[in-house]
Amino acid sequence: MKKIILGLFFVIVVGGYLISLKPTEPERLPNFYALSKEAILINSEEMKVKCNYHVFLFGWIDELEEEKKFQECINRHKINGYKIVESSGA
């Protein structure tokens, strides 16, 4: 019973600490991934569309799948006459 209470206390303390972290602090933790890509497309009528993805995960991520979704968004809008005005990635 003592071990269960001690384990529960530990989980609550560590969980509370992780929840209270500032957004930039988790990036210093091991195995933390922060990926971000964004593209702004515009058509001849000056209508803007934004394709982006932001991934913030611990451990393993499928970066190729996220890149594929990003490219599908861009390609879908290029077919409709949009052109990339601005693009960024990290």
Average pLDDT, the chain: 78
Q: How far apart are CA 88 and CA 35, in angstroms?
A: 11
Q: What is the pLDDT of residue 62?
A: 67
pLDDT of 33 higher than 80: no
Taking alpha carbons only, the member of 43, 90, 45, 84 closest to residue 67 is: 90
Overall average pLDDT of the 33-51 stretch: 85
Q: How far apart are CA 81 and CA 79, in angstroms?
A: 6
Q: How far apart are CA 87 and CA 79, in angstroms?
A: 18
- 82 vs 32, residue with greater confidence: 82
pTM above threshold 0.85 = no
